């Protein structure tokens, strides 16, 4: 087994054990739910990394035309979308108990929903083309659009408007100043853990696709 798979296992277990047992700051409203940071926020960070890998490979595909890059770009989006949907639903549960509703009209929440919609549209686009090369090229072009939307909605818009999410519009829930060093000790490893887990799934899916390609070639 590869070293990073071992690392993924260790980090995931560490983030569960450390996430529940290590002391966290006592904050109003959040109370014990602050521990969701280790599992909800980290999912988004992992998704961001996956989507970034995707766009890099989309651009590489446009200049190289190599099937390998297309598979990477596509499967990172698939797993990223999976993480995104998980992040959205976990966020809804968290929001119900801290902000008072499953869906508050928040810039970042709305932006996330739109971003996921764009990526779902990407999946629809890929599904509607038969020719693999054309599928890859159109997908790559559209995924660049999708990534721009992602940056716009998750990084730029929340910063210029009010948001309930921390770090946007002067929200006190917990910004970078609230996350103390003991929290960071779990937070960053958890991000890496979730990302590696996602990456593992990506590589598995790509390997399955390669097997499928070989079977088609043989027939």
Partner 1 sequence: MFRLKKISLLLILSLLSTLSFAQEITMADAMRESGKIYVVVAVLSLVMVGLLAYLIYIDKKVSKIESEIDKK
Partner 2 sequence: MHELKLEYRNKSALGGLFIYAFSTVFVTYLSVSRSPPSDLLSTFIWIAVLFISINAAGKGFLQEQKERMLYYYSLVKPTSFILGKIFYTSLLVGVIAMLVNGIFILLFDSNIEAPIWYAVALLLGGAGFAATITFISAIAMSASGNFTLVSVLSFPVLLPFLVTQVKFSKLCIAGFDSVLALKYAGILILLNLLVWALAYLLFPYLWRD
Binding site for partner 2 (CB under 8 A): 62, 114, 117-118, 121, 124-125, 128-129, 134, 137-138, 140-142, 144-145, 148-149, 152-153, 157
Binding mask 48-87 for partner 1 (x = CB under 8 A): ----------------------------------------
Which among partner 2, partner 1, none contacts residue 123 (Cβ within 5 to 8 A by kind)? Answer: none
Please answer whether residues 58 and 73 qualify as being in contact, where contact means their C-beta atoms are separated by less than 8 angstroms: yes
Say how far apart CA 207 and CA 151 lie, in whole Å. 30
Q: Compare residues 181 and 214 and give the one whose CB is closer to partner 1.
A: 214
Say how far apart CA 29 and CA 144 lie, in whole Å. 39
Greatest alpha-carbon pair distance for the chain in Å reads 64
89 touches partner 1 (CB under 8 A): no
CB atoms within 10 A of CB 150: 26
Non-local (6+) Cβ contacts of 219 within 8 A are none
Which among partner 1, partner 2, none contacts residue 26 (Cβ within 5 to 8 A by kind)? Answer: partner 1
131 touches partner 1 (CB under 8 A): no
The structure tokens listed for 85 are 């949907």
Please answer whether residues 80 and 118 qualify as being in contact, where contact means their C-beta atoms are separated by less than 8 angstroms: no
- Contacts with partner 1 by CB under 8 A lie at 1, 5, 8-9, 12-13, 16-17, 20-21, 26-29, 31-32, 99, 104-106, 161-164, 169-173, 200-201, 204, 207-208, 210-211, 214-215, 218
């Amino acid at each position: 087994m590869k070293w990073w798979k071992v690392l993924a296992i260790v980090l995931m277990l560490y983030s569960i054990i450390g996430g529940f047992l290590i002391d966290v700051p006592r904050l109003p409203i959040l109370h014990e739910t602050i521990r969701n940071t280790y599992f909800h926020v980290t999912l988004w960070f992992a998704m961001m990394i996956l989507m970034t890998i995707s766009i890099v490979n989309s651009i590489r595909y446009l200049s190289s035309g190599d099937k390998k890059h297309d598979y990477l770009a596509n499967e990172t989006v698939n797993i990223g979308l999976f993480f995104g949907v998980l992040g959205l639903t976990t966020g809804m549960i968290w929001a119900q108990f801290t902000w008072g509703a499953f869906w508050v009209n928040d810039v970042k929440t709305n932006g996330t929903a739109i971003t996921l919609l764009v990526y779902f549209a990407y999946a629809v686009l890929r599904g509607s083309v038969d020719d693999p090369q054309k599928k890859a090229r159109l997908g790559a072009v559209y995924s660049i659009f999708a990534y721009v939307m992602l940056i716009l909605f998750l990084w730029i818009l929340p910063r210029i408007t009010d948001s309930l999410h921390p770090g946007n519009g002067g929200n006190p829930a917990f910004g970078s100043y609230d996350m103390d060093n003991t929290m960071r000790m779990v937070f960053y490893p958890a991000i890496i853990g979730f990302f590696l887990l996602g990456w593992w799934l990506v590589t598995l899916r790509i390997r399955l696709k390669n097997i499928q390609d070989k079977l088609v070639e043989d027939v």
